């Protein structure tokens, strides 16, 4: 039996969508869905495109507006002019004298205003209702079918208007002239027709995203797994913007081009660079880093393309993109039972990442000990749905865990966070103190390590120049 996405995760998805949208190059609803579509599977992508307008409260208002307009007789005034040999009370004196060329009139033009059904406007309105009913009926949901039935009932008395006509500006103007209630109804309809081009974040947008999250069923498990990946990556990017590079350096900021690539989120802090992505590993210059276990798999006759973590965070300095430090992560939906069994299995996956990308992660095994570490610790962090009682051996409240993380002399090679405690929604404004402390540690350690390597390189370069007879300095 399919279960729905956990409510807390849906809340976080909506929370991050509201944070993300105004930072996109296209801050409209279209821009947000375009970015999200690059991060989800085919089924979820279809739902994003087709269901977001349907689920929006504004669409429900527009359906009521159409039903209301279809419930009244739409009349359009028509001017009927006739020529008479005698004047009557409907004579149009201006037209009459213009027709007589200024002389005494011998014929009188009589104008009479009549009303008739504006058949084209009615056809356009009926076509709009019919199209929306079909869209609602395409989803297997009783509430949507009920909305479609109400539109069908309103259409029943207008069956003669079967010729399809696209609803346009002329029809909107004709309807808006009827009265104030019709004008308000047209305004709502036009907002829905221009749905995708409107800025995300107005009333009703959060409700539609929440409802959209609820439609992602566990029947296609890739949908909700991807949802957890997106929330984890956006959580990291969001806390990063409140962290300084190298303790006293500038704040990490979203790069202007951050949203142009399919999966990457780019952050800059002065000359420092951080890239949050997924999949295969590439250094700061874009060179592919091979999976070290591929040769062993190929030797067994197995096809190997390389392990692709859900989260790849890399740091480098703009002056030396070839020197890149990595931290990896995986989103794990340990939803069964307490989740601890799957968490144990996930640590084995993390160990495989460490071995596969040993050189990129700087994997080091201490002599005479089973303990291992990387150039940055933790080498791999697991972002779980539930049940991570301790972080780096620290229990207690999140604020205490965050303080201890900042003070710890060394972080373990592998760590794990869970949605409810460490990177999920909180009461009031979203905060993730443990995740923030984690990012502070890895970004500070990365900047310190890269700066030290740069100093060593400069020293070696100067010593080499002196050895060749060049002046020191």
Q: Show the tokens assigned to 23.
A: 């930072």
Mind giving me the DSSP string for 32-64?
A: HHHHHHTTS-HHHHHHHHHHHHHHSHHHHHHHH
Contact (Cβ atoms closer than 8 angstroms) between residue 447 and residue 272: yes
Domain boundary among 186, 215, 244: 215
Q: Are residues 261 and 194 in the same domain?
A: no
Cα–Cα distance measured from residue 48 to residue 41, given in angstroms and rounded to the nearest whole number: 11
Q: Both ends of the chain: CA-CA distance in Å?
A: 73
Q: Tell me: do 105 and 156 sit in the same domain.
A: no
Whether residue 358 is contained in a domain is answered as: yes
Q: Is residue 446 part of a domain?
A: yes
Beta strands in 260-385 (DSSP E): 265-269, 272-277, 281-282, 288-289, 311-317, 320-332, 364-365, 372-373, 380-384
For the chain, counts of helices (H) and of strands (E) = 16, 13
- Clarify whether residues 80 and 42 are in a common domain: no
**Same domain, yes or no, for 323 and 353?**
yes
Q: How far apart are CA 353 and CA 357, in angstroms?
A: 6
Which residue, 383, 374, 382, 324, is CA-closest to 354? 374
Cα(345)–Cα(160) distance, integer angstroms: 65
My answer on whether 126 and 239 are in the same domain is no
Residues 210 and 233 grouped into a single domain:
no
In a domain, 465, yes or no: no
User: What is the value of pTM for the model shown?
Assistant: 0.78
Instruction: Tell me how far apart the alpha carbons of residues 9 and 29 are, in angstroms, rounded to a whole number.
Output: 21
- Whether residues 200 and 334 fall in one domain: no
Q: Is residue 447 part of a domain?
A: yes
For residues 401 and 191, what is the distance between their CA atoms, to the nearest angstrom? 47
For residues 303 and 317, state if they share a domain.
yes
Q: Are residues 141 and 196 in the same domain?
A: yes
Pairing, β 380-384 against β 320-332: parallel
The verdict on residue 473 lying in a domain is: no
d(CA 257, CA 364): 35
CA–CA gap between residue 65 and residue 61 (Å, rounded): 6
| Pairwise CA distance, residues 226 & 279, whole Å | 13
- pLDDT per residue as tens, the chain (473 positions): 344 445 777 888 888 888 888 888 888 888 888 888 777 767 777 777 888 888 899 999 999 999 999 887 766 666 777 788 878 878 887 788 887 877 788 788 888 765 555 778 888 888 899 889 988 888 777 888 999 999 999 888 776 655 667 888 888 888 888 888 889 999 999 999 998 888 888 878 888 888 777 766 544 555 566 778 888 999 999 999 999 998 788 999 998 777 765 558 999 999 999 999 988 899 888 899 999 888 888 889 888 888 899 999 999 999 999 899 999 999 988 777 777 888 888 999 999 999 999 999 999 988 877 788 999 999 999 998 888 888 888 888 888 999 999 999 899 999 999 888 888 866 668 889 999 999 999 999 999 999 887 776 666 555 554 444 433 33
| In a shared domain, residues 318 and 256 | yes
Is residue 137 a part of any domain in this protein?
Answer: yes
Judge if 13 and 91 occupy the same domain: no
In this structure, are 47 and 137 located in the same domain? yes
Q: Closest Cα partner for 415 from 393, 395, 446?
A: 393
Report the largest interatomic distance among the alpha carbons of the chain, rounded to a whole angstrom.
122
User: Which residues are 276's β-sheet partners?
Assistant: 265, 313
What are the backbone angles phi and psi of residue 81, rounded to the nearest 5°? -110, 135
33: domain range? 7-72+122-215
Report how many domains make up the chain.
3
Q: Which two tokens stand for residue 448?
A: 């310190």
What is the residue whose two structure tokens read 């990442």?
353
> Domain boundary at 58, 93, 117, which?
117
Helix axes 169-176, 119-137, angle to 10 degrees: 110
Which residues face 109 on adjacent strands?
83
Residue 87 lies in a domain: yes
- Tell me whether residue 472 is in a domain: no
SS3 276: strand
């Amino acid at each position: 039996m399919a279960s729905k996405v956990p409510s807390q995760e849906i809340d976080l998805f909506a929370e991050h969508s509201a944070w993300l949208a105004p930072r996109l190059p296209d801050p409209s609803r279209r821009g947000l869905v375009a970015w999200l579509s690059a991060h989800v599977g085919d089924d979820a992508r279809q739902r994003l495109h087709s269901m977001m307008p349907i689920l929006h409260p504004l669409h429900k208002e527009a359906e009521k507006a159409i039903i209301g307009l279809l419930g009244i007789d739409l009349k359009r005034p028509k001017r009927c002019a006739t020529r008479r040999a005698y004047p009557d009370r409907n004579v149009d004196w201006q037209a009459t004298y213009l027709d007589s060329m200024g002389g005494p009139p011998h014929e009188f033009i009589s104008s009479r205003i009549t009303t008739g059904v504006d058949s084209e406007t009615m056809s356009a309105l009926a076509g709009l209702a019919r199209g929306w009913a079909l869209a609602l009926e395409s989803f297997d949901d009783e509430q949507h079918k009920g909305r479609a039935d109400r539109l069908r009932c309103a259409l029943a008395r207008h069956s003669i208007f079967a010729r399809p006509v696209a609803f346009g500006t002329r029809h909107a103007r004709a309807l808006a002239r009827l009265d104030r209630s019709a004008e308000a109804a047209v305004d709502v309809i036009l907002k829905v027709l221009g749905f995708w081009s409107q800025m995300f974040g107005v009333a009703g947008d959060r409700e539609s995203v929440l409802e959209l999250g609820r439609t992602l069923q566990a029947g296609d498990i890739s949908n909700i797994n991807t949802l957890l990946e997106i929330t984890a990556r956006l959580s990291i990017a969001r806390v990063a913007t409140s962290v300084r590079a190298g303790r006293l350096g500038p704040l990490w900021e979203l790069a202007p081009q951050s949203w142009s690539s399919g999966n990457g989120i780019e952050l800059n802090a002065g000359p420092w660079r951080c890239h949050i992505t997924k999949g295969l590993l590439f250094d700061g210059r874009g060179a592919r880093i091979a999976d070290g276990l591929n040769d062993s798999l190929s030797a067994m006759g197995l096809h190997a393309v390389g392990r692709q973590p859900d989260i790849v965070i890399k740091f480098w300095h703009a002056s030396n993109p070839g020197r890149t430090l990595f931290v990896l992560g995986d989103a794990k939906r340990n939803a069964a039972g307490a989740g601890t069994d799957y968490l144990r299995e996930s640590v084995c996956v993390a160990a495989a990442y460490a071995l596969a990308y040993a050189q990129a992660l700087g994997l080091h095994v201490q002599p005479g000990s089973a303990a291992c570490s990387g150039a940055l610790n933790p080498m791999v962090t697991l972002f779980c749905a539930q049940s991570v009682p301790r972080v780096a051996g620290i229990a207690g409240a999140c604020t205490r865990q965050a303080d201890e993380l900042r003070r710890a002399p060394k972080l373990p090679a592998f760590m794990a966070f869970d949605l409810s405690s460490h990177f999920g929604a909180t009461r009031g404004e979203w905060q993730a103190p443990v995740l923030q402390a984690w990012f502070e540690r890895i970004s500070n350690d990365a900047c310190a390590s890269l700066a030290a390597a740069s100093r060593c390189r400069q020293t070696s370069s100067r010593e080499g120049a002196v050895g060749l007879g060049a002046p020191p300095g």
